[in-house]
Amino acid sequence: MRGIVRPTMTPELRLDFCSHEAARFACRRWHYSRKIPVGKLVKVGVWEGGKFIGVILFGDGLLGPKPTVYGGVDKFKVAEIVRIALREHVHAVSRMISIAIKLLRKRCPGIDLIVAFADQGENHHGGVYQASNFVYTGESEPGRMFRHKATGRVLHNRAVSANGYRSHFGHVRKVPRTDECEIIGRTKKHRYLLPLTSEMKTLAAKLSKPYPKRAASVDSDTPADQAGEGGARPTAALQHTTG
């Protein structure tokens, strides 16, 4: 007698704000950089079937001395997707991004534009942003990459300075000096914009360029190099949904 074939159940997808500890855990476990960004972050956790599978982080990576970006946009109206750190998952990343942005706008209602970058140095071309209907606007200026001579750590140019200090929102933090490091290369990033208002849609349309093709890697931008072990309670910190 033939057995009963039961349909495969798709695990429930849930996104909610998570703690800093949970975000740091996900970045260290499932993101190629193995670290969480510095600065003010909006941290959105992702669960499938009640199991914590990663985070989507929004930050203020564009903040700097210039008051505007992208031809006159107030920089405080722009948020950057600074991390997508996920273990193996079932639901599409584009759906996760859509829900995460809705949560971001509830917490930060003044955000009019989302920016995201795909690192060519990691063979990323931005497929998840293309699937999320972001507008491609070209490549960023090449950024220098450093290796700290004493520890061997690989650092982005934002993580070093000539005098060993960087200021962020008025808070000064100590960082490696450039003379303590060696330049190991330069890398460009693909830049994507997601306009959230009619004004920003007009701006993005003027900057729009054809999507770049898939990178040389055999997989998409997120799962392969960010996969890892997860669980309903990997650490106590992951039980938090706010923070």
Tens digit of pLDDT for each residue in 135-161? 999 987 666 777 788 888 777 666 777
Confidence at residue 241, expressed as pLDDT on a 0 to 100 scale: 36
Q: What's domain 13-139+189-239's superfamily in CATH?
A: Gcn5-related N-acetyltransferase (GNAT) (3.40.630.30)
Q: What is the mean pLDDT of residues 100-118?
A: 95
Label residue 6 by pLDDT band (50, 70, 90). Answer: low
Q: How many Å apart are CA 200 and CA 137, to the nearest integer?
A: 13
User: pTM (2 decimals)?
Assistant: 0.74
Tens digit of pLDDT for each residue in 7-44? 567 899 999 999 999 999 999 999 988 889 877 899 99
Confidence at residue 224, expressed as pLDDT on a 0 to 100 scale: 34
Confidence at residue 92, expressed as pLDDT on a 0 to 100 scale: 96
Q: How many Å apart are CA 152 and CA 65, to the nearest integer?
A: 30
- pLDDT of 193 higher than 60: yes
Residue of 238 and 160 predicted with greater confidence: 160
Phi, psi of 189, deg, nearest 5: -130, 145
- Beta-carbon contacts of 10 under 8 Å, excluding residues fewer than 6 positions away, are 90, 91
Label residue 2 by pLDDT band (50, 70, 90). Answer: low
Kind and range of the H or E run holding 189? strand 189-195
Is the Cβ–Cβ distance between 94 and 84 less than 8 Å?
Answer: no
Residue of 147 and 106 predicted with greater confidence: 106
- pLDDT of 117 higher than 80: yes
Is the Cβ–Cβ distance between 106 and 196 less than 8 Å?
Answer: no
Confidence at residue 161, expressed as pLDDT on a 0 to 100 scale: 74
Tens digit of pLDDT for each residue in 54-99? 999 999 866 566 777 887 889 889 999 999 999 999 999 999 999 9
Tens digit of pLDDT for each residue in 218-232? 334 444 333 333 343
Query: Where do the domains of the chain lie?
Result: 13-139+189-239, 142-187
Strand blocks (E) in 30-128: 41-48, 51-59, 68-69, 73-74, 78-86, 113-119
Confidence at residue 63, expressed as pLDDT on a 0 to 100 scale: 57
| Mean pLDDT over each residue of the chain, to the nearest integer | 80
Is the Cβ–Cβ distance between 15 and 99 less than 8 Å?
Answer: yes
Confidence at residue 222, expressed as pLDDT on a 0 to 100 scale: 44
Residue of 171 and 30 predicted with greater confidence: 30
